[in-house]
Amino acid sequence: MNKNIIVMKFGGTSVGTIEKIKNVADRAIKSKSEGNNVVITVSAMGDTTDELIELASKISKNPPRREMDMLLSTGEQVSAALLAIAITEKGGRAVSLNGYQVGISTDDVFSDAKILTVKKDRIVSEFEKGNIVIVAGFQGITDANDITTLGRGGSDTTAVAVAAALNAKYCEIFTDVDGVFTTDPNVVSDAMKIKILSYDEMLELASSGAKVLHLRAVEFAKNHGVVIHVRSSFNNNEGTWIMDTENLNEKMEKAVVAGVSYDTNQVKISVFGIPDKPGIAAKLFEELAKAHINIDMIVQNVGEKGIAAISFTIKNEDLNTGRKVMEELKHKLEIKNIEIDTEIAKVSIVGAGMKSHPGVAAAMFSALGDKGINIEMISTSPIIISCVIRKERVKEAVKLLHNAFGLDKQKL
């Protein structure tokens, strides 16, 4: 491990104004003056990415994904350059680099590209010149030299991938909350900051909607043993450590329910009246996979007379593509009817201790049922249980599950 290499990532709100960019510059200069080699990964300023998406949507409902990446990657370049200017203005030395200049190579799945390799040569040579290195987050380059982006929230993944390539001491993710909480602190004011989480718990929290960390960032960290420290960019408090917890205090690791997450960015597609015969589900999901659509939950009901119904959920941003694929399949697979429901949400409970505690699912279902919240789909794996419910009741569901599993401040 290179003890003196530190990677810090600052999210959109943390670089949302010039004042904030100047504060980040101060942090970078301070860390450098303490003898560290410093890499800073930045997101686009504030709501820039949303604004760019909005601009494109005024022209097209289904813009080419390659062009969207060309467009969205500009946001991170702006904040990277401004931060380098701010550091230089304060008397420090800095250079900003985009994904291409660093050598962050990805596959060619535009708008959701996966990092394949990160070169360290350019960054190391900039360290040797005495520079703080600023890396534009969220972007990479394909073999054909096309610009890609890594999916919403992807700057976290840039930071972790760079930390892995440099074998850095750890990767600090600076954001607008003090760490990872028992649930979104902007929804439940009694949420508690968690001190340490295992990679697996954080993976489940991230994949079920706790957007505080990008899922791929956690996967990368787990695979490469990168320790992540999620903390606030507005104070110096210690945040949450995401690491291998195998050798830590048993009790810490085995919280039955460590956190509650929710995801309102999903839609449910239901397919009615399809023939109940082998191979149909495979054909349906193969076509969706070809269009790079990830499926989350799936429920199949087999009715009478060999007719089945399948419901599944996908991400909101895949809806237009998904609709197109389904229309094409309607004929091919003799589907009677397709329904799209955008008013759903998913609520999940996560905890490593669930593995050895029976009754957790039952407790979750009765907490929801007691308040008349109808469960439409369920999925479980060893450390997570998720339910699809009506979107309008999701925040209420998060609050009541947070309370039911004793995560509220008062109870602890």
Q: What residues make contact with ligand ADP under the rule CB under 6 A? A: 11-14, 43, 153, 175-177, 180-181, 183-186, 210-212, 259
**Cβ proximity to ligand ASP, 158 vs 245, nearer residue:** 158
What's the angle, vertex CA 48, arms to CA 323 and CA 151, rounded to 5?
Answer: 45
Q: How far is the CB of 176 from ligand ADP (least distance, A)?
A: 5
Q: Could you tell me if 95 and 85 are in contact, meaning their C-beta atoms sit under 8 angstroms apart?
A: no
Q: Could you tell me if 234 and 253 are in contact, meaning their C-beta atoms sit under 8 angstroms apart?
A: no
Question: Could you give the string, one character per residue 46-85, with x where binding to ligand ASP holds by CB under 6 A and - elsewhere?
Answer: ---x-------------------------x----------
Q: How far is the CB of 133 from ligand ADP (least distance, A)?
A: 20
* Contact positions with ligand ASP (CB under 6 A) in 376-395: none
* Contact positions with Mg ion (CB under 5 A) in 1-60: 11
- Main-chain dihedrals φ then ψ at residue 99, nearest 5 degrees: -60, -40
Q: Is 13 in the site for ligand ASP (CB under 6 A)?
A: no
Q: How far is the CB of 158 from ligand ASP (least distance, A)?
A: 8
* Residue 152 interaction partner, one of ligand ASP, ligand ADP, Mg ion, none, beta carbon < 5-8 Å per kind: ligand ASP
Q: Is 216 in the site for ligand ASP (CB under 6 A)?
A: no
Q: How far is the CB of 205 from ligand ADP (least distance, A)?
A: 6
Q: How far is the CB of 187 from ligand ADP (least distance, A)?
A: 7
Structure tokens at 396: 């209420």
**Tally of CB atoms within 10 A around 95:** 18
**Cβ proximity to ligand ASP, 12 vs 351, nearer residue:** 12
CA distances from 281 to 221, 246, 312, 318 (A): 34, 39, 11, 19
Q: Could you tell me if 13 and 24 are in contact, meaning their C-beta atoms sit under 8 angstroms apart?
A: no
DSSP states along 298-309: EEEEE-STTEEE
Q: Could you tell me if 139 and 101 are in contact, meaning their C-beta atoms sit under 8 angstroms apart?
A: no
Q: Where are the alpha helices (DSSP H) in 191-346?
A: 199-207, 215-224, 250-253, 280-290, 319-332
Interface with ligand ASP (CB under 6 A), residue from 7, 8, 12, 46: 12
Calpha distance 376→175 (Å, rounded): 34
**Cβ proximity to ligand ADP, 97 vs 407, nearer residue:** 407
* Residue 399 interaction partner, one of ligand ASP, Mg ion, ligand ADP, none, beta carbon < 5-8 Å per kind: none
Rule CB under 6 A: which residues touch ligand ASP? 11-12, 43-44, 49, 75, 137-138, 152-155
